Amino acid sequence: MRIRNEVPADEAAVRQLNLAAFEGPGEADLVDALRGKTFPYVSLVADDKGLIVGHILFTPVHLPEHPRARLMALAPMAVLPGYQRSGVGSALVEEGLRQAHEAGAGAVVVLGHPGYYPRFGFVPASRHGLRCEYEVPDEAYMVLELQPGHLDGLGGTVHYHAAFAAL
């Protein structure tokens, strides 16, 4: 298996993967709505001999109170059910964080399982004075600083691309 950038030929397989991994079409529709609409944009797939078994997406989010903040959101991440708990998700997160950093992100936020994301260094976003624009549990909304000190003095409500409102 290898982690690589999504290419246009992967679009249908990424959609099918998200449909298989989540209940309903929300995440698949979100990926389709965001593709090519944001910059920076980090979209990676896990390719197992031509079969797309995982996908992860990072897109910009904004702190209106701090327009210079360079934040990205990890959302969504999907792994085919038969490949879950095999390291695919971890490999996608690690490479995605590396590429988000290379793209200039100072920090990444995620709404996810509080038992999973801390292994990568994510902590509750509230520790840095950050809140999600949507009502979510505090322990599930997390942030990881990619550039030391980037979150110093920041705080406020993180705003997502309008496509997230459809979820």
To the nearest 10 degrees (0 to 180), the angle between helices 11-21 and 26-34 is 150
- Is 39 among the domain residues? yes
* Tokens (6 digits) for 106: 């100072």
Share of the chain residues as helix, strand and coil, in percent rounded to the nearest 5: 35, 30, 35
Q: Is residue 152 part of a domain?
A: yes
For 112-123, b/e burial (b = at least 16 CB within 10 A) is beeeebeebebe
Domain count, the chain: 1
pTM of the model: 0.96
CATH of the domain at 57: 3.40.630.30
Domain that holds residue 32: 2-161
Decide: 31 and 14 in contact? Cβ < 8 Å. Answer: yes
Q: Which amino acid is at 25?
A: P
Indicate whether 139 belongs to any domain. yes
Q: How many angstroms separate the CA atoms of 12 and 8, rounded? A: 9
133-160 pLDDT, tens digit per residue, is 999 999 999 999 999 999 999 999 999 9
pLDDT at 113: 94
Provide φ and ψ at 121, rounded to 5°. 105, 0
- Give pLDDT, residue 166: 86
Using CA atoms, how far apart are residues 113 and 133, in angstroms rounded to an integer? 18
Residue ranges of the chain with per-residue pLDDT less than 50 = none
166, part of any domain: no
In a domain, 16, yes or no: yes
Indicate the average pLDDT of the chain.
96
Residue 112 confidence (pLDDT): 96
